[in-house]
């Protein structure tokens, strides 16, 4: 299996005890806003009407920092292949226009749940309650944060992005043939095998 995907049918049968064992002690949330005192569940972040407003968090800082630069599925693909985090963008100018830096916040995990019905991965956690951050790490640039945290960043064409989305391996074979920005800059390169 590639990326962070899980079998939703199997995951729906996970017990609360298993979900608790999967839960890290702290979770991470990235935002362009560097001054958040409390994260509130918001209606604009609803990904599914049945789920309702939630606060999103990731299992690690590396995964979270991919969200410092706002993007959507129409021009970006944020993935993980094994332990290698990947951020793929089909519009380099738009990426840098949207990159204003921000902060990655460390959050206590106690109110967060893993809901495979909506997530489809074991790295994306949600809370329906307000969450006060424990600490934050400020980044002047989302691109630099990704490079520093070993996220492999790629700028590709819209056609390549569509091919990745259509591929049964989620674009793994395609991305292995491309040169990351990390490699171009000789910064925290992790080759895909």
- Point out the least confidently predicted range of 6-15, 54-63, 74-83, 97-106: 6-15
C-alpha span between 176 and 100 (Å, rounded): 29
State how far Cα 31 lies from the chain centre: 12
pLDDT class of 8 with cuts at 50, 70, 90: very low
Domain boundaries of the chain, sorted by first residue:
8-185
- pLDDT tens column, 140-150: 999 999 999 99
Q: Mean pLDDT in the chain?
A: 88
User: How many CB atoms are closer than 10 A to CB 19?
Assistant: 16
Q: What is the pTM of this model?
A: 0.85
pLDDT class of 6 with cuts at 50, 70, 90: very low
Check residue 67 and give left, alpha or beta (phi > 0: left; psi -120 to 50: alpha).
alpha
pLDDT class of 14 with cuts at 50, 70, 90: low
- Point out the least confidently predicted range of 28-32, 120-124, 137-141, 173-177: 120-124
Per DSSP, what are the bridge partners of residue 88?
77, 154
- pLDDT tens column, 19-32: 666 788 999 999 99
C-alpha span between 79 and 26 (Å, rounded): 21
Q: Which residue has the tokens 């951050």?
A: 133
Phi, psi of 79 (to 5 degrees): -140, 180
pLDDT attached to residue 23: 80
Q: Is 65 helix (H, G, I), strand (E, B) or coil?
A: helix
| 3 pLDDT more than 70 | no
Mean pLDDT of 177-186: 97
């Amino acid at each position: 299996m590639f990326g962070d995907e899980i079998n939703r049918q199997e995951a729906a049968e996970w017990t609360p005890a298993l979900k608790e064992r999967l839960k890290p002690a702290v979770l991470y949330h990235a935002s362009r806003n560097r001054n958040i005192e409390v994260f509130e569940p918001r209606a604009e972040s609803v990904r599914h009407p049945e789920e309702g407003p939630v606060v999103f968090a990731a299992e690690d800082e590396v995964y979270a920092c991919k969200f410092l630069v706002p993007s959507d599925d129409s021009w970006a693909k944020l993935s993980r292949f094994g332990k290698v985090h990947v951020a793929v963008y089909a519009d380099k100018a738009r990426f840098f226009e949207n990159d204003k830096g921000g902060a990655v916040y460390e959050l206590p995990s106690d109110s967060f749940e893993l809901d495979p019905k909506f997530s489809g991965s074991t790295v994306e956690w949600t809370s329906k309650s307000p969450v006060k951050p424990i600490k934050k790490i400020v980044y002047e640039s989302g691109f630099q944060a990704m490079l520093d945290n070993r996220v492999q960043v790629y700028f590709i064409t819209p056609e390549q992005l569509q091919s990745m989305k259509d591929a049964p391996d989620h674009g793994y074979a395609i991305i292995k043939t491309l040169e990351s920005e990390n490699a171009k800059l000789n910064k925290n390169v992790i080759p895909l095998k």
